[in-house]
Amino acid sequence: MLLRKAATTAATVVGAGAAVLAAGRYAGDAALRVPPDRPLPGEERCTVHAADTATVTLSRTAASVRPGTYALIGKDLHAIVGPPVAEVAHPPDRVVRHLERVPHGGLEHGAKVWFSPQLYPGNPRDALGLDHAEVRVEGELGPLPAWFLPGPRDTWVIAVHGLGTTRRHPMVVLPFLHRMRLPVLAPALRGDPGAPPALDGINRLGAEEWHDLDAAIGHAVRNGARRVVLHGWSTGATMALLAALDSPLSHRVSGLVLDSPVLDWQATLRALARHRVPRMLVPYAVRAARHRAGLDPGLLLRAGEPDRLSVPTLILHGPDDAFAPWERSRELAELRPDLVTLRSFREAPHAAAWNADPHRYEEALRRFLTPLM
């Protein structure tokens, strides 16, 4: 009798352990599937309550009260909103924001929307009036569509997006770079619309995707670039670090602009997983994601090692980033003050420093890029 009870207990424990491991594997896989043009995990949707030609009234959430300029994305909807309007009376559970324009759809009462740092829909010509060419970058997995905006200088900027966005995200800085007369290449990456699918359909936090950026550097050099500045957001910033370190053309990289860089891959995986699974399963999810993606912790950590940095670097990051710890950016700046300049942006979520303060962001860019042109 005691033996049977002990066996039953052992089987229950083993079964529970197997269930936990299976759930961890599921969560790890989910954490690595971050589709483009979708909100990052945990991004709370808000409700449209009213709109006119100048303002939109939204339910009060952590996102809807943020200062700055963002896109409102919903079903068949893309709107651009400015900061909250303080002088308009409204109920305490609502927020009124400036409405700049509605490129697509309508702000219907009751619509569910989320805030995105990817401000513009379409392409640079339609959204911003900037002439560009549609080009193809021959990537490791196949051709990658890219926008090329010409300029008279021989230093090119290669702008690469990160988690939850597409090459439309870098459009926020294209007018500024155009005024600086810098050629810009904005490539799609594996897994993006029109690009080859990612291996197994999962994101590897830049550990494999950086090869697409490497291909973009090669395209730029073959087409007249003497030097390149890599401007990356989120995991795109991680790719920029890896390319500057390991690309055969790394000697052509004259500077790095890192917006919300993912320098601690375990922290980012924990942040992606914790919105999808119970807290107790998060460590299993991180471990499973690492094995599922074949992530080399040494490679990703090496990207942000201070002694390996060799070119001037501008970091644009905020302490309110929930996916890429700002502390790692601060440490890198403190350890390499000879090369790294850190500009901190309060109340800026992940990869949204420009949205939080466009003027300050572009002034930091101007000061950084001028000696490199």
Pick the closest to residue 344 from 312, 369, 319, 314 (CA basis). 319
- Which of 174-188, 264-278, 286-300 shows the highest mean pLDDT? 174-188
Provide the pLDDT for residue 25. 65
Tell which wins on pLDDT, 38 or 229.
229
Mean pLDDT in residue range 277-301: 81
Tokens of 156: 């090119």
Q: What is the DSSP string of 164-197?
A: T--TTGGGGGHHHHHHTT--EEEE--TTSTTSPP
The most distant pair of C-alpha atoms in the chain lies apart, rounded to whole Å, by 86
Higher confidence at residue 218 or residue 292?
Answer: 218
What is the CA 77 to chain-centroid distance, rounded? 21
Q: Give the model's pLDDT for residue 344.
A: 97
Q: How far is CA 338 from CA 74, 260, 313, 371, in A?
A: 44, 20, 10, 15
Q: Is the pLDDT of residue 127 over 50?
A: yes
What is the 3-state secondary structure of 98-117?
A: EEEEEEECCCCCCCEEEEEC
Which residues are within 8 A (CB) of 97 and not within 5 positions of it... i.e. 6 or more apart?
Answer: 55, 56, 58, 64, 81, 82, 83, 84, 85
Percentage of the chain beyond pLDDT 90 is 73
Question: Coil, strand or helix: which one is 151?
Answer: coil
Residue labelled with tokens 């300049």: 341
- Identify the sign of the CA torsion 22, 203, 103, 60: positive
Residue 44 · residue 62 · CB < 8 Å: yes
The mean pLDDT of 111-123, rounded to a whole number, is: 96
| Residue carrying structure tokens 């990456």 | 189
Q: What is the mean pLDDT of the chain?
A: 90
For 81, how many CA atoms within 13 A lie in the half-sphere containing its CB? 30
User: Of residues 251 and 308, which shows the higher confidence score?
Assistant: 251
Chain-centre distance of CA 149, in angstroms? 21
Instruction: Report which of 79, 70, 69, 126 is spatially closest to residue 105, judged by C-alpha positions.
Output: 79
pLDDT (0 to 100) of residue 33: 83
Place of tokens 């401007």: 231
One-character DSSP codes across 308-339 = G--S-EEEEE-TT-SSS-HHHHHHHHHH-TTT
pLDDT at residue 213 greater than cutoff 70: yes
140 has pLDDT over 90: yes
Q: What is the pLDDT of residue 22?
A: 66
User: Given pLDDT bands bounded at 50, 70 and 90, which one contains residue 18?
Assistant: low
Q: How far is residue 59's CA from residue 81's CA, in Å, rounded to a whole number?
A: 14
